[in-house]
Amino acid sequence: MELRQLEYFLAIVEEGSFSSAASRLFMVQSSLSASLLGLERELGTDLFIRGRRGAELTDAGRALLEPARAALEQTGRARDAVAEVRGLLRGTVRIAYAATPRIDEMAETLSRFRKEHPEVQVHAVPADLREVAELVIGGQVDFAVTPRIDRAGSAFRFKPLVSSSLALICPAGHRLAGARDVDPGDVVDELIIDLPRGWQSRDLFDQVMNERGLTRQVTLEVQDCFGVLALVQRGMGISYGARACIDPDMFDGVGVATLAGAPLWELGVAYRDDTLRGAAGRAFLAAYLEQCSRGRTPAAGATPQGDSGAFPPAGPRPPERLPA
């Protein structure tokens, strides 16, 4: 059994078909099929059911899945260790990131890191927040940059990097736009554009409402924060989110109000072990943190490892209103 065959096997699993896997691996499909046929002959069983719906794992294929991932992971760690001793930075980094407006510096980090370390292969995967924990725990990514995820069990850890008070997001002309310390009871009758349950902002907002004994009707849910901001911008309703995620340059016409008793929203790194594995992974995280400290992140209303709740002034304003 060759490591190359295991790599091909996992590519087919992840892509769902031989043709897609061959395209990803930059090889012809016939060569990929021949390699997998050799692996199946060696193991004495079929690993895939080939059909109209693509390639589906057999029971034997499912049994091979985790050992194959572990074998490739250990091989990669061995290569990284040797390269580190030689003073080289090589290997593969796999990062998942849940995109958030304004705070996410992933694109800038990717650009700089690739120029400085061309021998490192970087795979950055935008992921739904609900998928991030499984990607980390399953070892499909080395770490994730994501809003806080609370997950029980020793296999998952979260290190906060930036925190920001939860705030209300309103159309610029809304009665609450710019207000300070809005009582949660003042928004019960508003049309609130919600994120799905499980998103940190939604959980924090529900927490605030529950602590005040307030009930509300959920009438509109949007799958991501970009969609929420777009609907608020169009005057569809109000919503909530981290103050640091609201970029007035990207979403002109969106106002903000502070929320009385607002809890903190956190962005951080989710990972599986006590320390990040591999020199390449540690170097990429260091580059990401450096990018975040260059002035663009944390944004207004955000602080590293905490939040005073203070907003930076933006010129003379009446004391009861927020700076834009």
Convert the pLDDT of each residue in 102-127 to its tens digit.
555 777 888 888 888 887 888 888 88
pTM summary value:
0.61
Question: Mean of the pLDDT values across residues 299-310?
Answer: 42
Per-residue pLDDT at 307: 36
The pLDDT score that the predictor gives to residue 27 is 85
Structure confidence at residue 224 (pLDDT) = 83
CATH fold, domain 133-274+294-324, is D-Maltodextrin-Binding Protein; domain 2 (3.40.190)
DSSP code of residue 93: E
- pLDDT one-digit tens code per residue, 209-224: 999 999 888 889 998 8
43-83 confidence digits (pLDDT tens): 999 998 887 777 888 999 999 989 988 888 778 777 666 76
DSSP assignment of 100-142: -TTT--HHHHHHHHHHH-TTEEEEEEE--HHHHHHHHHTTSSS
Mean pLDDT score, 152-163: 78
pLDDT at 179: 93
Report the alpha-carbon distance of residue 246 to residue 42 in Å, rounded.
Answer: 56
- pLDDT band, residue 274 (cuts 50/70/90): low
CATH architecture of 1-88: Orthogonal Bundle (1.10)
pLDDT of residue 104: 57
Q: Which residues pair with 162 in a beta bridge?
A: 267, 304
Cβ atoms of residues 224 and 97 within 8 Å: no
CB within 8 A of 171, min separation 6: which ones?
177, 232, 233, 234, 235, 238, 253, 254, 255
- SS3 of 287, please? helix
Per-residue confidence (pLDDT) for residue 319, from 0 to 100: 27
Helix (H, G, I), strand (E, B) or coil at 42: helix
At a CB cut-off of 8 Å and minimum separation 6, what does 163 contact?
Answer: 264, 265, 266, 267, 302, 303, 304, 305, 306, 307
Distance CA 189, CA 3 (A): 60
Q: Where are the domains of the chain?
A: 1-88, 133-274+294-324
Between 306 and 128, the higher pLDDT residue: 128
For the chain, what percent of residues have pLDDT higher than 70?
82
CB 39 within 8 A of CB 45: no
d(CA 39, CA 16): 18
- CATH topology agreement for domains 1-88 and 133-274+294-324: no
DSSP H helix total and E strand total for the chain? 9, 12
**What is the tens place of the pLDDT at every residue in 68-78?**
888 887 787 77
